[in-house]
Structure 1
Amino acid sequence: MTNALAELLAERDWLMADGATGTNLFNMGLTSGDAPEFWNVDHPDRIEKLYQFAIDAGSDIFLTNSFGGNASRLKLHNGQDRVRELNKAAAELGRNLADKAGRKIVVAGSVGPTGDIMLPVGTLSHADAVEMFHEQAEGLKEGGADVLWLETISAPEEFRAAAEAFKLADMPWCGTMSFDTAGRTMMGLTSAGMVELAQSIENRPLAFGANCGTGASDLLRSVMGFSAQAPELPIIAKGNAGIPKYVEGHIHYDGTPELMGEYAVMARDAGATIIGGCCGTMPEHLRAMREALENTPRGDRPTLEEIATKIGPFSSDNDGTEDDGGAPKRERNRRRRG
């Protein structure tokens, strides 16, 4: 198996990932509480449509519909015995479309958190987490995924367990965490801590970064924290399309395509190499992001003030570290005054 993502990273100085999975599937009829992974078998045409959205919008990488495809999460829907089947189907649908696209596109096997809390705080052991991640990884590999894509992780212990499982599966991988608690993950990791984790782990990812979280501004601040550490690995930025709001019984993200175009350029200039969207990011957002990345020359590293002005205010005064993840002190002081 060739390492398609590594090849693209060697050829290009930025790559565009895809957008939202859940938001798009809800628009196709998925209801709250359903397991979207079942659609890989029950409604493959809808999953193909999801993938085609990303391909047509210019994405170089798209994630499979397998975020909750581990035994622990599927057990909530009596699907714990279908892990291999559902993950294989998710990857196969993507592989078929990517191979027909006429350009190099990476099929990334999405792997989300187990949903359990690991020892010593919770009850999930390292060995059991590795086993769950390995089972899912083998299904995605069998279906033809180019790379595994760990996302929305909050605990370093779970990140390490996944890395071990992916080594067992002999698959390259990327990993992102969600910094949604005043610049930290839910389990307290900072942007600087993420850099150290990604680079010190035995089976290092091809790229690392942040996804989801609060809004695009907060995610950009995490990216600034990553790049301030001068990491050896490429950085991933997958921010939400604005802030979620409850409108007429539905969750609506207020980020416009124009705003996401600004976000994409700022993410690139802040140091990200792989840039995509997370919750709320629709095909129109991706098209605007691709156009902005292609047509906007590289600029200086943005300041926190520029991010707040163009993308929106931060949800907290700092990013959870004493030195704000390495951001220049003058920027932090100006932000506090603002």
Structure 2
Amino acid sequence: MDLMIGSRPWTELAHYAEGQTMADPLSQLLAGRDWLMADGATGTNLFNMGLASNVAPELWNTDRPDLVRRLYRDAVDAGADLFLTNTFGGNASRLRLQGAGHRVRELNLAGAAMAREVADAAGRKVVVAGNIGPTGEIMAPIGSLSQARAVEMFHEQAEALKDGGADVLWVETISSEQEFRAAAEAARLADMPWGGMMSFDTAGRTIMGVTSAQLSALVERLPNPPIAYGANCGVGAADLLRTVRDFVASGNERPIIAKGNAGIPHLEDGHLHYDGTPAIMADYACLARDMGVRIIGGCCGTTPGHLRAMREALETRAPGPRPSLEEIASRLGGFSAVGDY
């Protein structure tokens, strides 16, 4: 008889935790739960608090720590089991655009330390995910960013997030295999468990042409595979779940992450508004769960109100059969591209 850990057999757990220590909180939560809820948007919610569009959100880690703490607390209060640090663009390349390239360690350390405080005060186990986004540069040979420099930038950020108290690294919105590999190497150098996501746009590819099947294969070839992998952002929740279907079909049994946008953005009075209602995002969350997604959250446009609706739906609606593409389209508003891909 197989040894059980939480509600899952050890053999299943070992498959996705290979190379990772059971001490990390994300693996512990995954071992005992069928699904976890991640947080929502960072930028959208900070913009709603008054962040100007020309200011890097990471600067608020020192300039407006009260509002960054509120961002974190709002996610926890809405039911998130995992929330991201306000450090998505906290690498040297992106911060240099704000004249803050020398502040990588300071801003990442501050963002993670505040998150650690909020998580520790939650009264339950909540995972702090040290957020790492793309460098903003194009990797060689198409662009000028070398693999070594990409690893160096990601590693600098990873070490600061680790020292600030992050439980795992959360690499997201990546578009190229080379940059994904660089982030994976940085996680190895920092000796940190990690999760990795790419962003798939129209026709199911990243802007650099990577398919969901290619990502599923890539994570298994890495020397230090992520605890979980998946997709975030992209076009909308329906398209993201079509990508998830391909992850499932790949045969890769590593836990899947889905962090979809709250609908499609529209420009109104000079501001972006997303058309995904809390009810639609609640449907998205349950559809993702029924597809086998283990970590479910929102990306752009997802507010605490959306998260509360998602959590309630996940806890009160009984699991159902794996949804068809037709059901996904009918409940979430259709796909951006006609036909299958």
Same fold (TM over 0.5): yes
Q: CA deviation at 1:100?
A: 0.7
What aligned pairs does 1:137-216 form with structure 2 within 5 A after superposition?
A: 137-216=158-237
The residue number in structure 1 matching 2:90 is 69
Query: 1-side partners of 2:203 and 2:167: how far apart?
Result: 34
Pairs aligned (count): 320
**Partner deviation per Cα, 1:92-114 (whole Å, 9 max, x = no partner):** 00000100110000000000000
Superposed, 1:254-333 pairs within 5 Å as 254-318=275-339, 324=341
Gaps of 5+ in 1: 325-338
Indicate the residue corresponding to 1:333 in structure 2. none
Contact 2:175 2:208 survives alignment (8 Å) = yes
Confirm or deny that 1:219 pairs with 2:240: yes
Contact 2:173 / 2:232 at 8 angstroms: preserved in 1?
yes
Report the 3-state secondary structure (helix = DSSP H, G, I; strand = E; otherwise coil) of the residue aligned with 1:272.
Answer: coil
Identify the residue that residue 131 of structure 1 maps to in structure 2: 152
SS in 2 for 1:77: coil
SS at match of 2:238: helix
Report what 1:86 is aligned to. 107
Contact 1:241 1:281 in 2 (8 A): yes
Q: What residue is the counterpart of 1:29 in the other structure?
A: 50
Q: SS of the residue aligned with 1:148?
A: strand
* Identity in percent: 66
Residue in structure 2 matching 1:55, options 76, 85, 105: 76
Match of 1:331 in 2: none
Deviation at 1:317, TM superposition (A): 2.2
Structure 2 runs not aligned, ≥5 long: 1-20
Partner of 1:330: none
Q: Which residue identity does 2:140 align to in structure 1?
A: L
Aligned to 1:96, the other structure's residue is in SS state: helix
Q: State whether residues 73 and 118 of structure 2, in contact with CA within 8 Å, keep that contact through their aligned partners in structure 1.
A: yes
> What is the CA deviation profile of residues 248-304 of structure 1, one whole-angstrom value per residue up to 9, with x for unaligned ones?
211000111000000000011112100000000000100000001011111111000
RMSD: 0.9
CA contact (8 A) 1:235 1:273 kept: yes
Asked if structure 1 preserves the Cα contact closer than 8 Å seen for 2:282 and 2:313, the reply is: yes
Deviation at 1:318, TM superposition (A): 4.2
**SS of residue in 1 equivalent to 2:153:** helix
Query: SS of the residue aligned with 1:52?
Result: helix
The one-letter code of the counterpart of 1:211 is: N
Report Cα offsets for 1:296-325 as digits up to 9, x if no partner: 111111000001100011001245xxxx4x
CA distance in 2 between partners of 1:74 and 1:197 (Å)? 29
The whole-number CA distance in structure 1 between the counterparts of 2:156 and 2:339 is 39
* Separation (CA, whole Å) in 1 of partners of 2:288 and 2:304: 19
Distance 2:150 2:289 in 1: 34
CA contact (8 A) 2:258 2:297 kept: yes
Instruction: State the Cα distance separating 1:35 from its structure 2 match.
Output: 0.9
Separation in structure 2 between the aligned mates of residue 231 and residue 261 of structure 1, nearest angstrom: 26
SS of 2:128 mapped into structure 1: strand
1:182–1:318 CA contact under 8 A, matched in 2: no
**In the alignment, does 2:253 pair up with 1:232?**
yes
Give the distance between the partners of 2:339 and 2:246, measured in 1 at CA: 11
TM score, norm. by length of structure 1:
0.93
CA distance in 2, matches of 1:84, 1:190: 33
Distance 2:339 2:194 in 1: 30
Instruction: Write out the 4+ residue segments of structure 1 that deviate beyond 6 Å after TM superposition.
Output: none
Residue-by-residue CA offset, 1:172-231 (whole Å, 9 max, x unaligned) = 000010001321000001111110011211110000000000010000100111011121
CA contact (8 A) 1:261 1:285 kept: yes
Report SS of the residue matched to 2:294.
strand
**Residue type at the aligned position of 1:266:** L
Maintained 8 Å contact 1:206/1:234:
yes
User: Where does residue 332 of structure 1 map in the other structure?
Assistant: none
CA distance, structure 2, for counterparts of residue 292 and residue 44 of structure 1: 32
Tell which deviates more after alignment, 281-290 or 174-183: 174-183
**Whole-Å separation in 1 of the counterparts to 2:339 and 2:215:** 16
Distance 1:62 1:128 in 2: 28
Contact 2:202 / 2:336 at 8 angstroms: preserved in 1?
A: no
